[in-house]
Amino acid sequence: MRRASAVKPAPPSAPSDLLKSIGLRRTPVRLGVLTVLAEAAVPMGVQQVLDKLPEHTDTVTVYRTLNTFTAKKVVHRVRGEDRTWRYALGGGETAAEPAHAHPHFVCETCGTVECLERSEIPPALVRSLKVADGYAVRYPEVTLHGVCPKCHA
């Protein structure tokens, strides 16, 4: 498993290689969704992804594809102000991939959701929360809400 570089992390490989590596057949929708997410600067909602795909693309197939990618940890997802999921390339905050343990930012003004790739969720965060015994915590998810630099002017 390759680690993301310190700079803007490039997608680990071409969409078709990525599909092969997780044992999924190449389909136009899968390739299309991966390409859209690879080119996106911020996590994208389903509608935003659909807008970039050919007009006849089936909405249900795109939903299903994003769910599959999430389950396969090809993408991770975060909710925006409107409580709908946004998707971004990368494995998400899992113990297996601590490199991706970054917080997210939701702008209350423009609604943009961002991956704060330069920030890291402190590994000691979960311990510091002193969760009661009996809870098997797998990973933390940190979403910060506020005003983004673009809206801050």
Q: Given the rule CB under 5 A, which residues bind Zn ion?
A: 88, 107, 109-110, 115, 148, 150-151
Tell me the backbone φ, ψ of residue 151, rounded to 5 degrees: -90, -5
Strands (E), the chain: 44-45, 75-79, 85-89, 104-107, 113-115, 143-146
Alpha-helix runs per DSSP H in the chain: 15-21, 28-39, 46-52, 59-71, 125-128
Closest approach of Cβ 52 to Zn ion, in Å? 19
Minimum CB separation of residue 115 from Zn ion in Å reads 3
Closest CB to Zn ion among residues 129, 151: 151
Are 90 and 75 in contact, with CB atoms under 8 Å apart?
Answer: yes
Q: Shortest distance, CB of residue 8 to Zn ion, whole angstroms?
A: 13
Minimum CB separation of residue 20 from Zn ion in Å reads: 24
Distance CA 62, CA 119 (A): 30
What is the phi-psi region of residue 130: left when phi exceeds 0, alpha when psi lies from -120 to 50, beta otherwise? left
Query: Of 10 and 58, which has the nearer Cβ to Zn ion?
Result: 10
Closer by beta carbon to Zn ion, 57 or else 117: 117
The nearer residue to Zn ion, 57 or 70, going by C-beta atoms, is 70
